[in-house]
Amino acid sequence: MSDLQNKIALVTGSGRGIGKAIAIAFAKAGAHIILTARNAEQLNQTAEDIQALGQQTLVVPTDVTDTTQVQTLAQKVRDVFGRLNILVNNAGGSIERNLILESDPDLWIKDITVNCTSVYLVTHALLPLMIESGGGKIINVGSGMGHRSAPKSSAYHVGKAGQWMFTQCLSEEVWEYGIDVNELIPGPVATDATQGRMQVGGPPPFAPSERVKTPEEVTPLALYLATQPKGGPTGQTFSLTRRPI
Protein backbone atom coordinates (compact mmCIF):
# COMPACT_ATOMS: atom_id res chain seq x y z
CA MET A 1 0.00 0.00 0.00
CA SER A 2 1.18 3.56 -0.69
CA ASP A 3 -1.91 5.60 0.20
CA LEU A 4 0.09 7.55 2.80
CA GLN A 5 3.38 7.72 0.91
CA ASN A 6 5.71 10.26 2.57
CA LYS A 7 2.97 11.60 4.85
CA ILE A 8 3.99 12.55 8.38
CA ALA A 9 1.70 11.09 11.06
CA LEU A 10 1.71 11.47 14.83
CA VAL A 11 -0.03 8.87 16.97
CA THR A 12 -0.43 9.39 20.71
CA GLY A 13 -0.46 6.35 22.97
CA SER A 14 1.48 4.47 20.30
CA GLY A 15 3.57 2.26 22.55
CA ARG A 16 0.96 -0.48 22.70
CA GLY A 17 -2.57 -1.52 21.81
CA ILE A 18 -4.65 0.39 19.28
CA GLY A 19 -2.15 3.24 18.98
CA LYS A 20 0.70 0.89 18.13
CA ALA A 21 -1.42 -1.00 15.60
CA ILE A 22 -2.45 2.24 13.86
CA ALA A 23 1.14 3.53 13.79
CA ILE A 24 2.39 0.32 12.16
CA ALA A 25 -0.51 0.26 9.67
CA PHE A 26 0.22 3.86 8.65
CA ALA A 27 3.90 2.99 8.21
CA LYS A 28 2.98 0.04 5.99
CA ALA A 29 0.97 2.51 3.91
CA GLY A 30 4.05 4.67 3.43
CA ALA A 31 3.91 7.22 6.26
CA HIS A 32 6.72 8.34 8.54
CA ILE A 33 5.60 8.20 12.16
CA ILE A 34 6.03 10.27 15.31
CA LEU A 35 5.50 8.00 18.31
CA THR A 36 4.53 9.38 21.68
CA ALA A 37 3.41 7.94 25.01
CA ARG A 38 4.82 7.91 28.52
CA ASN A 39 6.60 4.55 28.29
CA ALA A 40 9.85 5.01 26.34
CA GLU A 41 10.63 1.28 26.24
CA GLN A 42 7.34 0.46 24.54
CA LEU A 43 7.78 3.34 22.10
CA ASN A 44 11.23 2.12 21.13
CA GLN A 45 9.84 -1.33 20.39
CA THR A 46 7.18 0.17 18.13
CA ALA A 47 9.88 2.25 16.46
CA GLU A 48 11.94 -0.85 15.72
CA ASP A 49 8.92 -2.50 14.08
CA ILE A 50 8.35 0.56 11.91
CA GLN A 51 11.99 1.04 10.99
CA ALA A 52 12.03 -2.57 9.81
CA LEU A 53 9.43 -1.47 7.24
CA GLY A 54 11.83 1.18 5.94
CA GLN A 55 9.99 4.18 7.39
CA GLN A 56 11.36 6.98 9.55
CA THR A 57 10.31 7.35 13.17
CA LEU A 58 10.64 10.01 15.82
CA VAL A 59 10.20 8.81 19.40
CA VAL A 60 9.16 11.51 21.87
CA PRO A 61 8.15 10.19 25.31
CA THR A 62 5.42 12.57 26.44
CA ASP A 63 2.75 12.90 29.09
CA VAL A 64 0.01 14.37 26.90
CA THR A 65 -1.71 15.88 29.94
CA ASP A 66 1.34 18.08 30.62
CA THR A 67 1.27 21.37 28.69
CA THR A 68 5.04 21.88 28.74
CA GLN A 69 5.78 18.35 27.53
CA VAL A 70 3.22 18.68 24.74
CA GLN A 71 4.77 21.95 23.59
CA THR A 72 8.17 20.25 23.54
CA LEU A 73 6.67 17.45 21.44
CA ALA A 74 5.29 19.95 18.93
CA GLN A 75 8.63 21.73 18.65
CA LYS A 76 10.49 18.46 18.02
CA VAL A 77 8.05 17.53 15.24
CA ARG A 78 8.64 20.93 13.66
CA ASP A 79 12.42 20.68 14.01
CA VAL A 80 12.75 17.13 12.64
CA PHE A 81 10.06 16.94 9.94
CA GLY A 82 8.89 20.51 9.42
CA ARG A 83 5.36 19.37 8.64
CA LEU A 84 2.50 17.24 9.93
CA ASN A 85 -0.24 15.67 7.81
CA ILE A 86 -2.07 13.31 10.17
CA LEU A 87 -2.74 13.48 13.91
CA VAL A 88 -4.27 10.54 15.77
CA ASN A 89 -5.32 11.40 19.32
CA ASN A 90 -5.46 7.88 20.73
CA ALA A 91 -4.14 8.22 24.29
CA GLY A 92 -6.75 7.74 27.00
CA GLY A 93 -7.95 5.40 29.69
CA SER A 94 -10.49 4.66 32.39
CA ILE A 95 -9.20 5.62 35.83
CA GLU A 96 -12.11 6.33 38.22
CA ARG A 97 -14.72 3.55 38.04
CA ASN A 98 -16.82 4.20 41.11
CA LEU A 99 -20.25 5.70 41.58
CA ILE A 100 -20.14 9.49 41.58
CA LEU A 101 -21.01 9.59 45.28
CA GLU A 102 -18.12 7.24 46.07
CA SER A 103 -15.62 8.64 43.58
CA ASP A 104 -12.29 10.30 44.32
CA PRO A 105 -12.42 13.89 42.98
CA ASP A 106 -8.73 13.88 42.07
CA LEU A 107 -9.05 10.65 40.09
CA TRP A 108 -12.27 11.86 38.47
CA ILE A 109 -10.55 15.03 37.23
CA LYS A 110 -7.52 13.00 36.10
CA ASP A 111 -9.83 10.78 34.05
CA ILE A 112 -11.37 13.80 32.32
CA THR A 113 -7.92 15.24 31.71
CA VAL A 114 -6.47 12.16 30.01
CA ASN A 115 -9.54 11.56 27.83
CA CYS A 116 -10.48 15.10 26.86
CA THR A 117 -8.07 17.82 27.93
CA SER A 118 -5.08 15.95 26.49
CA VAL A 119 -6.76 15.92 23.07
CA TYR A 120 -7.13 19.69 23.26
CA LEU A 121 -3.52 20.19 24.38
CA VAL A 122 -1.98 18.06 21.63
CA THR A 123 -4.25 19.43 18.92
CA HIS A 124 -3.75 23.03 20.01
CA ALA A 125 0.04 22.63 19.97
CA LEU A 126 0.17 20.98 16.53
CA LEU A 127 -2.56 22.82 14.64
CA PRO A 128 -0.30 25.66 13.44
CA LEU A 129 2.09 23.14 11.85
CA MET A 130 -0.79 21.25 10.21
CA ILE A 131 -2.14 24.49 8.77
CA GLU A 132 1.33 25.40 7.46
CA SER A 133 1.51 21.90 5.93
CA GLY A 134 -1.56 22.60 3.81
CA GLY A 135 -4.11 20.70 5.87
CA GLY A 136 -4.57 17.08 6.83
CA LYS A 137 -6.55 14.69 8.98
CA ILE A 138 -7.22 14.59 12.70
CA ILE A 139 -8.61 11.31 14.04
CA ASN A 140 -9.79 11.25 17.65
CA VAL A 141 -10.19 7.75 19.06
CA GLY A 142 -13.40 7.93 21.04
CA SER A 143 -15.85 5.56 22.65
CA GLY A 144 -19.51 4.69 22.49
CA MET A 145 -19.51 5.48 26.19
CA GLY A 146 -19.10 9.12 25.22
CA HIS A 147 -22.48 8.99 23.47
CA ARG A 148 -24.59 7.56 26.28
CA SER A 149 -24.87 7.51 30.06
CA ALA A 150 -24.48 4.65 32.51
CA PRO A 151 -23.86 4.23 36.23
CA LYS A 152 -20.23 4.05 37.34
CA SER A 153 -17.31 5.19 35.16
CA SER A 154 -18.96 8.62 34.87
CA ALA A 155 -15.60 10.32 34.41
CA TYR A 156 -14.80 8.19 31.36
CA HIS A 157 -18.26 8.82 29.88
CA VAL A 158 -17.92 12.56 30.45
CA GLY A 159 -14.33 12.68 29.18
CA LYS A 160 -15.15 10.87 25.95
CA ALA A 161 -18.31 12.95 25.52
CA GLY A 162 -16.19 16.07 25.84
CA GLN A 163 -13.76 14.70 23.28
CA TRP A 164 -16.65 14.11 20.88
CA MET A 165 -17.92 17.66 21.30
CA PHE A 166 -14.36 18.94 20.83
CA THR A 167 -14.20 16.96 17.58
CA GLN A 168 -17.37 18.64 16.31
CA CYS A 169 -16.34 22.15 17.38
CA LEU A 170 -12.87 21.78 15.89
CA SER A 171 -14.24 20.49 12.58
CA GLU A 172 -16.23 23.70 12.17
CA GLU A 173 -13.17 25.84 12.85
CA VAL A 174 -10.53 24.20 10.64
CA TRP A 175 -12.30 22.98 7.50
CA GLU A 176 -11.24 26.13 5.67
CA TYR A 177 -7.60 25.09 6.22
CA GLY A 178 -8.20 21.73 4.58
CA ILE A 179 -8.22 19.85 7.89
CA ASP A 180 -10.83 17.14 8.45
CA VAL A 181 -11.61 16.03 12.01
CA ASN A 182 -13.46 12.83 12.84
CA GLU A 183 -14.08 10.45 15.71
CA LEU A 184 -13.21 6.76 15.44
CA ILE A 185 -15.02 4.43 17.86
CA PRO A 186 -13.27 1.03 18.00
CA GLY A 187 -15.84 -0.81 20.12
CA PRO A 188 -14.54 -3.52 22.47
CA VAL A 189 -10.88 -4.37 21.82
CA ALA A 190 -8.56 -6.73 23.65
CA THR A 191 -5.73 -4.58 25.04
CA ASP A 192 -3.63 -4.42 28.19
CA ALA A 193 -6.35 -2.21 29.68
CA THR A 194 -9.06 -4.85 29.11
CA GLN A 195 -6.94 -7.90 29.94
CA GLY A 196 -8.87 -10.41 32.02
CA ARG A 197 -12.22 -8.92 31.05
CA MET A 198 -12.28 -9.45 27.28
CA GLN A 199 -11.27 -12.34 25.03
CA VAL A 200 -10.75 -11.89 21.29
CA GLY A 201 -13.69 -13.26 19.34
CA GLY A 202 -16.01 -13.49 22.31
CA PRO A 203 -18.55 -11.00 23.62
CA PRO A 204 -17.58 -8.43 26.26
CA PRO A 205 -19.39 -8.69 29.59
CA PHE A 206 -21.66 -5.73 28.82
CA ALA A 207 -23.00 -6.53 25.32
CA PRO A 208 -23.75 -10.02 23.98
CA SER A 209 -24.11 -8.73 20.40
CA GLU A 210 -20.52 -7.45 20.34
CA ARG A 211 -17.35 -9.26 19.31
CA VAL A 212 -14.06 -8.34 20.96
CA LYS A 213 -11.52 -7.30 18.32
CA THR A 214 -7.74 -7.22 18.11
CA PRO A 215 -6.10 -3.78 17.85
CA GLU A 216 -5.17 -4.61 14.26
CA GLU A 217 -8.85 -4.87 13.32
CA VAL A 218 -9.23 -1.15 14.06
CA THR A 219 -6.62 -0.11 11.52
CA PRO A 220 -8.64 -0.36 8.26
CA LEU A 221 -11.05 2.30 9.51
CA ALA A 222 -8.17 4.51 10.66
CA LEU A 223 -6.58 4.13 7.22
CA TYR A 224 -9.89 4.97 5.56
CA LEU A 225 -10.16 8.21 7.49
CA ALA A 226 -6.50 9.11 6.95
CA THR A 227 -6.72 8.62 3.18
CA GLN A 228 -9.95 10.48 2.40
CA PRO A 229 -9.52 13.23 -0.20
CA LYS A 230 -9.87 16.88 0.72
CA GLY A 231 -13.51 17.73 1.08
CA GLY A 232 -14.30 14.36 2.60
CA PRO A 233 -16.25 13.79 5.83
CA THR A 234 -15.55 15.95 8.83
CA GLY A 235 -17.17 16.34 12.24
CA GLN A 236 -18.48 12.77 12.03
CA THR A 237 -18.36 9.58 14.09
CA PHE A 238 -17.24 6.33 12.47
CA SER A 239 -17.89 3.27 14.58
CA LEU A 240 -16.92 -0.40 14.56
CA THR A 241 -19.47 -1.30 17.23
CA ARG A 242 -22.17 -3.92 16.69
CA ARG A 243 -24.91 -1.95 18.42
CA PRO A 244 -26.24 1.61 18.29
CA ILE A 245 -23.88 4.11 19.87
Q: Judge whether 9 and 26 are in contact, CB under 8 Å.
A: yes
- Helical residues (DSSP H) of the chain, grouped into ranges: 17-28, 40-51, 67-80, 105-112, 118-132, 154-174, 219-226
Helix orientation angle between 67-80 and 118-132, rounded to the nearest 10 degrees? 20
CA neighbor of 15 nearest in space, from 51, 48, 52, 55:
48
Amino acid code (one letter) for 77: V
Distance in angstroms (rounded) separating the CA atoms of residues 211 and 203: 5
What values do phi and psi take at 119, rounded to 5? -65, -40
* Catalytic pick among 120, 156, 177, 224: 156
Q: Is 1 exposed, middle or buried (0-12, 13-18, 19+ CB in 10 A)?
A: exposed
Note if 177 is an active site residue: no
**What positions carry a catalytic annotation?**
156
